[in-house]
Amino acid sequence: MTIQIVGSGCSNCARLEASARKAVADLGIEAKIEKVTDFMEIAAMGVMSTPALAINGNLKSSGRVLNAAQVADLIKVEL
């Protein structure tokens, strides 16, 4: 599983990354967590507001900082 944190590296992006890492740990799964900061790549993904979260290449959230439970729910759908 690949989880992408999409954004410029702002504090909200860091908070979303922390939530994703906690969700992965809480679920006891292995996942690669990547940061996407290149504006061309962000635009190609269709992200209009950051931070955004993509799981296995599918955009799941944009413009919101999700908590770990919310991220875990999105991950479960992809398992």
Residues near 62 by beta carbon (within 8 Å), at least 6 away in sequence: 6, 47, 48, 49, 50, 52, 53
Which H or E run contains 10?
A: none
Q: Write out the E strands in the chain.
A: 2-6, 32-36, 52-55, 58-62
Query: Considering 13, 23, 53, 71, which one is annotated as catalytic?
Result: 13
Annotated catalytic, 73? no
Annotated catalytic, 45? no
Beta pairing, strands 2-6 & 52-55? antiparallel
Query: Considering 10, 25, 29, 69, which one is annotated as catalytic?
Result: 10
Residues taking part in catalysis: 10, 13
